[in-house]
Structure 1
Amino acid sequence: MSKKALCIMSGGMDSTLVAYIMRSRGYEIVALHFNYGQRTVGKELSCFRAICEDLGVLEQYEIDLDFFKAIGSSALTDHTIDVPTGGIEVGVPITYVPFRNGIFLSIATAIAEKEGCSAIAIGVVEEDSSGYPDCRETFIEAFQKGANLGTKETTNITIEMPLVHLQKSQIVEEAIKMDAPLHLTWSCYQNEEKGCGVCDSCRLRLRGFERAGAIDPIEYV
């Protein structure tokens, strides 16, 4: 029986590369995507499906979470809060969705246990991210302990975060090297047709391509 990895995939560049890394390590990929009321929910879902097709994923989950919109407080889920476009912020930005990765990982743990996955893979990036507290390596390591304490004795899950110490330019370089379909990925926080080029996520992505000496294959306004 082949080993399986549950990959949390947003349709973005980081989580896409992680899925291709896990496949290269010999894992069968079980793909998991969340629709949580984010502004670009439709675009991210279509990207996820296209990437799964490219990967040849046989088992995929699309989970709808509506409570993030009820909580609000994030520019990604509360449309009364503008997405910042003035440059990458210092500290935890308004695009932070409260404990999003903790909630995603909780659901991922349940699915991984059901599917018999030995690994959960997540595309958190600590050094060159937007400063989200739930992207830290220490948090993911602590969550792994909790996940294994809260599941069956026969369940032993490792949470893999192969990009956690990389910079965006290194992620671009690695994705190109692995022939990951960057043209199918999406990063923009606010547009679904063409990237805005000015939100935090677009700026990080564009800067990564520039420093890697590569051309971003997606379109921008």
Structure 2
Amino acid sequence: MNNKTTKKAICILSGGMDSTLASYIAKKDGYEIIAVHFNYGQRTQNRELKAFRDICDDLGILEKYEIDIPFFTQIGASALTDKSIDVPTNGLEAGVPITYVPFRNGIFLSITAAIAEKEKATAMYIGVVQEDSSGYPDCTEEFINDISKAINQGTREETSIEIKTPLVHLSKAQIVEEALKLNVPLIHTWSCYKEEDEACGVCDSCRLRLNGFNLANQIDPITYKVNL
């Protein structure tokens, strides 16, 4: 194989709609994909892991990392990792919501950078969405640019890693439209913060996803307990 066919990208793949689309874009961009998934004690950890494995099968990804990060449950401070804190179901909160996991994307990107350096990958894809997200501070373009500089300063001189955020300025409706254009198997993705058997339909993530489908005039292929 020549160099043009062996450029590698590490895709942070949660199993959600955004990270899945970002991974499909990486494939379209001609990268050999190495997928990374994090089990960090989130409420829907088992369901997200199933989604990750299904999507890796869909994409034909042969090399993948499933990384356990147990300390998030020790820290708590987030409804996703502390079961004594209820996941909000009354609509999006103002400011940074209680579902924010402290510096999660910063930690994910740091670990992924170590994998990228080992694998001699030149790109890392992450499905952050700035303008239509839940207000998380680690999903902004400014944050990604700054941590990209730190990663390249803190790795070998010959290491050069570009963090690619193809969805950062898209709305959820545009994400749905792009996913359909690329034939992304959205039925295999999981977005719900609360449930693992059937999506709740009322948490922030379900609301954002459902609203995106509604604005795109499309039907979400997964089922919900409540469809607002």
TM-score, with structure 2 as normaliser: 0.96
Structure 2 counterpart of 1:103, one-letter code: I
Over 4 Å off, 4+ runs = none
Superimposed CA distance per residue, residues 28-72 of structure 1 (whole angstroms, 9 cap, x where no aligned partner): 000000000000000000000000000000110000000000000
1:142 corresponds, among 119, 132, 146, to 146
Counterpart in the other structure of 1:156: 160
Q: For 1:106-185, what aligned pairs fall within 5 Å after superposition?
A: 106-185=110-189
Gap runs ≥5 in structure 1: none
1:40 corresponds, among 29, 40, 44, to 44
Superimposed CA distance per residue, residues 152-182 of structure 1 (whole angstroms, 9 cap, x where no aligned partner): 0110000000000000000000000000110
Report the 3-state secondary structure (helix = DSSP H, G, I; strand = E; otherwise coil) of the residue aligned with 1:52.
helix
How big is the shift at 1:90?
Answer: 1.2
Counterpart in the other structure of 1:99: 103
- The RMSD of aligned alpha carbons is 0.4
Distance 1:90 1:173 in 2: 27
Counterpart in the other structure of 2:64: 60
Distance 2:134 2:98 in 1: 10
Distance 1:88 1:214 in 2: 22
How big is the shift at 1:109?
Answer: 0.2
Counterpart in the other structure of 1:3: 7
Counterpart in the other structure of 1:198: 202
Distance 1:146 1:19 in 2: 23
Distance 1:124 1:162 in 2: 8
Q: Among the aligned pairs, what percent are the same residue?
A: 67
How big is the shift at 1:99?
Answer: 0.1
Distance 1:76 1:128 in 2: 19
